[in-house]
Amino acid sequence: MTTGLVWDERYFWYDFGDSRSLFGAHPHIQPGSHIETPESKRRILNLLAASGLLAQMRELRPSPVGAGDLCLVHDEAYVESVRTLSASGGGSLGPGVPVPAGGYELAALAVGGTRRALDAVLRAEVDNAYALVRPPGHHAERDHGMGLCIFANVAVATKLAMRDHGLRRLAIVDWDAHHGNGTESAFYEDPSVLTLSIHQDMVIPGRGAVCDAGRGVGEGYNINIPLPPGSGTGAYLAAIDRVIAPALRRFRPELILVASGLDACASDPTARMLLLSDSYRFMTARLLELAGELCGGRLVISHEGGYDPTATPFCALAILETMTGIRTGVQDPFGPLREEELAGHQRLQPHQEAVIAQAEALLGTPRCAQQTS
């Protein structure tokens, strides 16, 4: 198994500035590092190197996409506003959307990284690939950035891959703790892309409900599983087994793309879920198995959130050990501690089961995506 890894030093140079920028000019937040520091992502790369796994993957170099590519998802005026602000010394396009000097080029490089991973898998350069891109992208909407996302990495790269490789069906599974609103919006009326999101309920107010199933010809091609805060491995695996797996089997994608936020990790500061590194190992194994069954193993994982710099690298290592089929022998020091701490809470709970049952019920409706050709 050959696994590609996309990364670029410049991904770690996107400067989100001061922590206060998330809250406007809040007078009582002490100045300091932004939650979206490069640290958690850089530590992923460093742990891959220290574990020896990096040397066993194929490194893939990204190139930035052009403005025309970005406009496959975004309005020209929005793309231009990011470019202009970036070129004129930087500033902010709103809370959570800082654009530093040179940020346009770095955000376009992040989209290009996801595109590079897709191209490598679709050209069979590698069996599967992980794009360690930054800034993240799944909250970026057509005409505005949002939630630390400037451009929609996964959505733009999907459009490019479908155009360039003639794909007819691609599935996107988003397991970031926050709803993948931007990805959902980009394909809400598009039956050629099945979008599935497992996320913490109401973490993006007004978005991510089970009943948001797509519109027009896209109805049935968007599936949301908004799990309650406190959901752990049992809830996530049940969501995959009972909703995502059957939906993928009906849709029969030609490639599965995962928007992988690691912020459902139990110690993440931005969400309230309970996953451990082994949870990500099990989830990746499920998706890899489904990709093997449905689309020749074509699985691409693109990085989104994940803000605990100490635990996040072990979650990413678990994912990449699974993708490569190589166990490095590195032990996650947090796993045993938190397993003990969270014992009894990792199993599927009745209130979590109720949400999964709602999403599962929608699969049985005539509106649900089903490919016959």
Told to check if 261 binds Zn ion by CB under 5 A, we report yes
Q: How far is the CB of 164 from Zn ion (least distance, A)?
A: 28
Out of 119, 141, 263, 268, the only residue in the binding site for Zn ion (CB under 5 A) is 263
Q: How far is the CB of 171 from Zn ion (least distance, A)?
A: 20
Task: Bin 329: left if φ > 0, else alpha if -120 < ψ < 50, else beta.
Answer: left
Out of 112, 137, 253, 305, the only residue in the binding site for Zn ion (CB under 5 A) is 305
Candidates 93-101, 238-246, 256-264, 359-367 — which segment interacts with Zn ion by CB under 5 A? Answer: 256-264
Q: Which residues of 63-91 are buried (b: 16+ CB within 10 A; e: fewer)?
A: ebbeeebbbbbbeeebbebbbebbeeebe
Among 74, 139, 179, 303, the one annotated catalytic: 139
Closest CA to 311 of 40, 53, 45: 40
State which residue, 214 or 305, has the beta carbon closest to Zn ion. Answer: 305
Residue nearest to Zn ion (CB): 305
Closest CA to 233 of 291, 189, 180, 276: 276
CA distance 91 to 99: 5
Please give the residues from 95 up to 124 whose contact with Zn ion meets the rule CB under 5 A: none
Candidates 86-94, 170-178, 205-213, 272-280 — which segment interacts with Zn ion by CB under 5 A? Answer: 170-178
Query: With CB under 5 A, what is the number of residues at the site for Zn ion?
Result: 5
Told to check if 303 binds Zn ion by CB under 5 A, we report no
CA distance 275 to 267: 9
Closest CA to 236 of 322, 347, 319, 357: 347
Q: How far is the CB of 138 from Zn ion (least distance, A)?
A: 8
The angle, 0 to 180 degrees and rounded to 10, between the axes of the packed helices 312-324 and 277-294 is 30
Q: How far is the CB of 277 from Zn ion (least distance, A)?
A: 17
List 100's β-bridge partners, or say none. Answer: 90
Q: How far is the CB of 271 from Zn ion (least distance, A)?
A: 7
State which residue, 22 or 160, has the beta carbon closest to Zn ion. Answer: 22
Candidates 93-101, 176-184, 212-220, 342-350 — which segment interacts with Zn ion by CB under 5 A? Answer: 176-184
Q: What is the number of other CB atoms lying within 10 angstroms of the CB of residue 19?
A: 17
Candidates 95-103, 127-135, 207-215, 298-306 — which segment interacts with Zn ion by CB under 5 A? Answer: 298-306
Number of H helices, E strands in the chain: 12, 10
Q: What is the DSSP string of 79-93?
A: HHHHHHHHHTTEEES
Candidates 62-70, 95-103, 172-180, 216-224 — which segment interacts with Zn ion by CB under 5 A? Answer: 172-180
Out of 176, 184, 201, 360, the only residue in the binding site for Zn ion (CB under 5 A) is 176
Phi, psi at residue 273, to the nearest 5°? Answer: -105, 175
Q: How far is the CB of 88 from Zn ion (least distance, A)?
A: 29
Told to check if 184 binds Zn ion by CB under 5 A, we report no
CA distance 87 to 85: 5
CA distance 330 to 19: 33
Out of 83, 159, 178, 338, the only residue in the binding site for Zn ion (CB under 5 A) is 178
Q: How far is the CB of 222 from Zn ion (least distance, A)?
A: 18
350 to each of 197, 202, 353, how far by Cα in Å?
A: 20, 19, 5
26 given a catalytic annotation: no
> Could you give the residue numbers annotated as active site?
139
**Which parts of this chain interact with Zn ion (CB under 5 A)?**
176, 178, 261, 263, 305
